Structure 1
């Protein structure tokens, strides 16, 4: 099945939807492009709008609830099924006279920002688009957004704001922003949101807009990636970096795996993919509260998982000639150095060296695991006798047992898996390279 198509459960193939599809008005949500003004703030600016004192662009994007299942589940994240559009008028199809052919836009800020039949908007708002997950860090981002927005407005001037509401929204909104001419896409959230934004940049042949740059304001439970890259947590410093717009190329990994329904899926990752205990920990963290923060959420989930989980037999094949079946607690394919709320699994990994660092935690007893657990956090993991780390460009893994995946802090599926290096895949705004 060629890329650009995906099939339903009956095997029928369907074209991708256009960026702005033709469907009923109720299948659209409003989006505001402004001097940092959010949709919920629009009502307070109504008088200014009418008077022309406040410049706000208004339009519609497809409602995420139109889709029967989240992206990335059984498909590449960019694939959508035509038949998954929900018809609010009944089961007989969307009447022709109800279809929309024009992306409506009142463009006070950037004249000509009209999207008609999928034609990209002209880049306005300084070419900067914020993708914001208000639910990140157990809702803290939503509470902090007014302050972040005000500081960003002072530093950056005008920009577009797109808020996520559910799974894979950040992917869709990033892709729309790039199609609209964004030069800088700023992710505000945690590693999971950042992963979706990264996937929004990437297509089957690589980055969909190579001249665009990705920026990150880390506000999440774990934020392990910034332990490897030089992206500061301090808001003023990171906004200054975005203003200076100096990007460095970073590597990504491309992952082929099975989703929870055993369907083949593909996605990119920026930090670490692991299988074994890591997937179990992610599954537990994402099903429980994160109110105590990243470190305590992950360490608690790790301790519980250690008591309930058992080692797995995994066949691992690397492009460097390594080809073994081993008993392991966890295997990490690392682009960055840390995952799981501070676990230092690949102390020598770099995000710009074009190589994965594959760390294998071998056949330890439970007592040995607890005795050596501190070494997982202090950088001494590779000193252990039953821990191996090798470099590779391609990794294949399979198991006859149920082995869950950890992908940048999310649990999207299970083995078998193929991981391939995508060197210098996109440009990240940071203080220094690597």
Structure 2
């Protein structure tokens, strides 16, 4: 059911703000903030509507419809998965924006990596105030194009069923397994940071390395003992992990954080480096570089994770969407 709030009696709907609210975020505790959010916006006198999500696919559909229906501002109310889903609803399969709508975030999840990266407050009152002001920043959006193994096409322009967008980071290798394990309930028991860290340590000890082939500008790199490849935009990822990058340093490029050739003696220094956020010297097991776009494949079945949720399998291409997103911040 659509819920409509209109302060203008001469108009059915001004289509100002549409809230996409995930009641399941933060293990269901997100719902407790909904009355507060609705009350704050109601008292502002702004015309708005809201809809609760059934799942993340439903959030994508709601976002796409809101873009098509002409809302000026579309807001994700939830965690990282909700943010990712709502952003996916802003884009066509070829990387273009559906509309000129602004994107806003009211965070009610567990690990506000996106908010930290762009300086968006997690306090509900402050977040709503920023949404109402509407000041925007253009941000780049990553585009993952999954392909059948036998398709030779070289451009980043696939069918709609094989495209996913991301705002923070995509992981190839251990990342998808970490997302599944951390999302399975351990974070609910131990907390976001401790649950994710414990899951990560367990996987680092047991994970069997994979082979991934990376093509960039006709240059091929093959990692034969890869644990994880992070292709990212924002410095904050995965519940406390911080990549030592700054947007001004990388320009409009992805960073590539490569973990490979691991043994038991590397695990402790690796964890120190990825959780400290401090610059490090590239080594045999951890390195950082930059890329505009990549094509990735593997002789094995390798899963891809984006913004905290598994989204598909190699092969894929990762590039930037053609249109940046107007983020309210």
TM-score by length of 2: 0.87
1:291-333 CA deviation, whole Å, 9 max, x = no partner? 2432123112212222321221211122384633342211111
Q: CA deviation at 1:208?
A: 0.4
> Is contact 1:250–1:423 with CA below 8 Å preserved after alignment?
no
| Alignment-derived partner of residue 166 in structure 2 | 269
1:207 is matched with which residue? 97
Residue 151 (1) aligns with residue 40 (2): yes
The structure where helix makes up a greater share of residues is 2
CA contact (8 A) 1:346 1:357 kept: no
In the alignment, structure 1 residue 178 sits paired with structure 2 residue 67: yes
Name stretches of at least 5 consecutive residues in structure 2 with no aligned partner. 149-158
Q: For the residues of structure 2 that align with 1:171 and 1:270, how far apart are their CA atoms?
A: 14
CA shift at 1:109, angstroms? 5.4
Does residue 133 (structure 1) correspond to residue 22 (structure 2)? The answer is yes
Q: CA RMSD in A?
A: 2.5
Partner Cα separation in structure 1 for residue 9 and residue 85 of structure 2: 28
Higher relative contact order (CA 8 A, sep 6+): 2
Structure 2 residue matching 1:233: 3-state secondary structure: coil
- Offset at residue 161 of structure 1 (A): 0.7
Partner of 1:393: 292
Secondary structure at 2:74's aligned position in 1? Answer: strand
C-alpha contact (below 8 Å) 1:271/1:336 kept by paired residues: yes
CA distance in 2, matches of 1:156, 1:385: 56
CA distance 1:144–1:352, change in 2 (3 Å): farther
Pairing partner for 1:317 from 192, 212, 215: 215
Return the match for 1:228 from 98, 104, 117: 117
* Largest Rg, 1 or 2: 1
**Counterpart for residue 412 of structure 1:** 311
Moved more, 162-171 or 129-138: 162-171
Aligned to 2:246: 348
Counterpart residue number, 1:189: 78
Q: Distance in 2 between matches of 1:420 and 1:358?
A: 12
TM-score with structure 1 length normalisation? 0.67
Does the 8 Å CA contact 2:56/2:81 hold for their aligned counterparts? no
Ranges of 4+ aligned residues in structure 1 off by more than 4 Å: 108-111, 349-352
**Cα shift readout 1:264-308 (whole Å, capped 9, x = no counterpart):** 721111110011111110121223343243212311221222232
**Deviation of the 1:258 alpha carbon:** 6.3
Change in CA separation of 1:350 and 1:109 when aligned onto 2, cut-off 3 Å: farther
Q: CA offsets, 1:412-433, max 9 Å, x none?
A: 2222221011255210011xxx
Between the aligned partners of 1:109 and 1:425, the Cα distance in structure 2 is 35
Query: What's the CA shift for 1:156?
Result: 5.4
How many angstroms apart in 2 are the aligned matches of 1:271 and 1:350?
Answer: 16
- 1:352–1:364 CA distance, 2 compared to 1 (3 A): closer
Report matched runs for 1:92-171 at 5 Å.
Answer: 111=11, 113=12, 124=14, 127-155=16-44, 157-171=46-60
Q: Does the 8 Å CA contact 1:316/1:398 hold for their aligned counterparts?
A: yes
